[in-house]
Amino acid sequence: MIESMTGFGRADVDARGVGRISVEIRSTNHKFLETVLHMPAGFLSLEEKIKKEIEGHVSRGRIVCVVTIVAEESHDVVINHGVIAKYLSAVKEIKRKHRISEDASMNTLLRLPGVFTLSESFGAQNKMWPCIKTMVLKATKALVGMRMKEGKALAVVLKGTAQKLRSHVAAVKARQQKVVDDRKAAFLSDEEKSSFLKSSDIAEELDRLAYHVGNLIDKLRKGGVIGKELDFIAQEMQRETNTIGAKSCDAGISGMVVEMKSFIEKIREQVQNIE
């Protein structure tokens, strides 16, 4: 089974004696695993625990988790007197330098960042953590379920495109043999014939391309965290197809190469979303 890197999961609960907890998790494409958390004030110390729970179930993608908590137990409001003193000192400096007579109002002062903070209540955190953990795991399970569903659909599309590419490889191989056989009789010397065969020989490229197509299909069948491998295989397929196109001496083969490049481009676009 393969997973997409795109998904969404949500879980929430109203727990008596604890409060309301809501967890939303979204994931998008990313080269590596990156987890970003948005926590309410007073619960920031739980970030690493939550990251650990999420990252135990996903291997790749940019994960954004938003945790909303309305606790029944209120937090203490902390007045940052040192910050206030610095603000007042800065206000005095501004008044002196710019000759402003008006004083800063209490309302303005209270709105400044850092004047008030909420203390972290470790007692409340310990009390709420089991419930928070359950909601995180529930939301993560929903996220993974959606990623697996989309991954299954992607696998079907990729296999279909790979099969079309495989058919074109076989058709190019057959066409190339016919082109060579038809042109052999037209050459006046063995030297001309040898030069033509050397410059137009695409047998090795076709064999390598056929191998890469088969390898991609096998990887899709086995599943797992294969996004980076599939991207590498697609790059190799593109490289071989470009060489085949450059060596082509037949309009029919050139036309099929254009279609093959289109199939490979579609594959490359799709594998970018696979974990």
- Cβ(9)–Cβ(150) under 8 Å? no
pLDDT digits (tens, 9 = 90+) for 113-157: 876 665 555 566 777 889 999 999 999 999 999 999 999 999 999
> What is this structure's pTM?
0.74
> What percentage of the chain reaches a pLDDT higher than 90?
57
Q: Which residues pair with 12 in a beta bridge?
A: 22
Looking at domain 151-271, its CATH architecture is Up-down Bundle (1.20)
Q: d(Cα 94, Cα 71) in Å, to the nearest integer?
A: 41
Counted residue by residue, the chain has a size of 275
pLDDT band at 192 (very low <50, low <70, confident <90, very high): low
Q: What CATH number belongs to 7-75+122-147?
A: 3.30.230
pLDDT the model gives residue 199: 66
Report pLDDT digits (tens) over 207-227: 999 999 999 999 999 999 999
Residue ranges of domains in the chain: 7-75+122-147, 79-110, 151-271
Q: What are phi and psi of 64, to 5 degrees?
A: -115, 120
CA distance 148 to 105: 56
In sequence order, the 6+-apart residues with CB closer than 8 A to the CB of 16 are none
Q: Are 220 and 155 in contact (CB under 8 A)?
A: yes
Rounded distance between C-alpha atoms, residue 243 and residue 258, angstroms: 12
